[in-house]
Amino acid sequence: MFRMPGVVLAAATLTLATWAGAAGAAAAPPAAMQTPAPPIPTPTVACPPALPIWGQVTATTATSLTITYTMLLTPPCGYDPPMQVLLFTSREDAEQWRNPAAQALTGPERNGTVTVGGLTPNTDYWFRFSEPDGKRDPYVIGGPARTTDQSACTATATVDNRWTGGFVATVTVRATGSAPVQGWRVSWRWPGDERISAAWNGVVETTGSDVVVGNASYNGTLAPGGWTTFGMMVWSSGAAGVPALTCSR
């Protein structure tokens, strides 16, 4: 049998070409590796230099405290209502969030009042704010505010008018016991530079930041459940408001 030289040569050429292609494929440089994109940093929220929530005791009875509050900032820098108000019988317990004596929930308003009841007469209390799910406000520790004697009187303040640099307030004095009140005294301590410039239906005594207003000659006797009022004009560079009042006989 004869072999055609052209066939043998073509086969050899095909084999050589196949080997050269395989060798070229093996020697081809690897494709360039892609570098992953760096992660996008999460933006940091800059909170304003202000308390997220503020409050003060504005009324007391023998068994309750009323706290006026303002939620100044919203999340993530502040809070949304409702907030929980917790009372403690010592500042140390309040600082440690230990042994709360009573608590109450605010309403849906960002600015309002909340009354905490079931308290012991003639007792000092401190208050703090917390979200219902347990997130605690680390800043505000209010107080002390003292509940009144069961047989004495209570005093509550209402701001009637305010302007830049001052305000006018009315204080209501009410007999809460079963016996008549024969003479009353309402006392408080200003938190800032407040100063009474005028007063009516009461006699004012001041010592530094401490204020005592006693009854006038015509409104000192209160029957059980009875009440009277006195008023004052106050100069102040801060927010308008009267701190916690204590009424005694």
Q: 75: domain CATH number?
A: 2.60.40.10
End of a domain among 127, 147, 167?
Answer: 147
pTM: 0.51
pLDDT > 90 fraction of the chain, expressed in percent and rounded: 65
Residues 6+ apart with CB under 8 A from 67: 55, 56, 57, 58, 85, 113, 114, 115, 116, 127, 142
Strands (E), the chain: 53-60, 65-71, 84-88, 102-105, 111-116, 124-130, 142-146, 153-163, 166-175, 181-182, 185-189, 195-200, 202-207, 210-215, 221-222, 227-235, 246-248
Under a CB-based contact definition with an 8 Å cutoff, are residues 86 and 106 in contact?
no
Q: Say whether pLDDT at 29 is over 60.
A: no
Residue listed under structure tokens 């204020």 = 211
Q: Is residue 87 over pLDDT 90?
A: yes
Q: What is the pLDDT of residue 18?
A: 47
Domain with 91, as residue range(s), is: 50-147
Between 139 and 3, whose confidence is greater?
139
Which residues lie closer than 8 Å to 110 by C-beta, 6 or more apart?
A: 70, 71, 81
> 248 and 156 in one domain?
yes
Model confidence at 74: pLDDT above 80: yes
Q: How far apart are the first and last CA of the chain?
A: 141
β-sheet with 246-248: strand ranges across: 202-207, 210-215, 185-189, 246-248
What's the confidence (pLDDT) of residue 30?
A: 57
Can you tell me the distance from the alpha carbon of 5 to that of 181, in angstroms, rounded to the nearest whole number?
138
Dihedral of alpha carbons 20, 23, 28, 29, sign: negative
Q: Which residues contact 190 (CB under 8 A, 6 or more apart)?
A: 209, 211, 243
What's the pLDDT score for residue 148?
78
With cut-offs at 50, 70 and 90, classify the pLDDT of residue 40: confident
Answer yes or no: is pLDDT of 66 > 90: yes
Same domain for 172 and 84: no
Please say which residue of 147, 171, 194 terminates a domain: 147
Does 28 map to a domain? no
Give the residue, 33 or 99, on which the prediction is more confident. 99
pLDDT of 4 over the 50 cut: no
Number of structural domains in the chain: 2
Tens-digit pLDDT profile for residues 206-226 = 999 999 999 999 999 999 889
Q: Is residue 2 part of a domain?
A: no
What CATH number is associated with residue 188?
A: 2.60.40.290
Note whether residue 113 is domain-resident.
yes
Task: Give the confidence band of 101 by pLDDT, cuts at 50, 70, 90.
Answer: very high
Task: Give bridge partners of residue 155 from the DSSP assignment.
Answer: 173
